[in-house]
Structure 1
Amino acid sequence: MKYHLSDYLVIGHIARFTAQKNSLFLIDIFHEIYKLEPKAKLLLIGDGDLKEAMMTKIHQFHMEDSVVYLGRREDILQFYNAMDCFLQPSLYEGLPIVGIEADSTGLPVFFSS
């Protein structure tokens, strides 16, 4: 894969960047992980109303080099193999398809309750 993620702890997130998906809190969570593991990368796939606020927060935390933003994509299945775990801290959610996909690849998945 051209993103050179094999030497990193890769936290994956695929979603609409919205309040429902708790997108800003996701950045806070990754910041705490990053402080413990500087070789961590956050792989973001998606887009939405909170994208700019997320990017601002990433910049404020000086984590630009630790976040790989791929935008909105249709070919996401290939990226599960690059992830070490999948994170979805939604405020409210049904059963997200990305969670089923991530789980079916054997990834550890972390969802909010």
Structure 2
Amino acid sequence: MKSLSLLVLIVVASMAITEVVDGAGECGRVPADRAALRLAPCASASQDPNADVSARCCSEVHTLGQNPSCLCAVMLSDTAKSAGTKPEIAITIPKRCNLADRPVGYKCGGYTLP
């Protein structure tokens, strides 16, 4: 069942990737729950702090991280939670990707981006 859910998440994410994130709200015109689908490649990295972070995941996190409030909204979204994302681990992904321009120290709910 978990594999089926992940497969559905990946299929929907591939359809959502072409959407532009601009406009009003944390992630523009795209709700954070929908923007969260872009982080499907980060599924294992957001659940296990020792899991490898894929280049695709890092690319998506870098893109969303250009707007730290969107990145936080996505990591704390209901979609991310239902996919098994652990926020305390997800917030470590920008650092694990070695993103030089990551929003270090940004308050993300009850968490702070390292």
Q: Same fold (TM over 0.5)?
A: no
Q: Which has the higher helix share?
A: 2
TM-score normalised according to structure 1 size: 0.30
Structure richer in strand, relative to its length: 1
Give TM-score, length-normalised by structure 2: 0.30
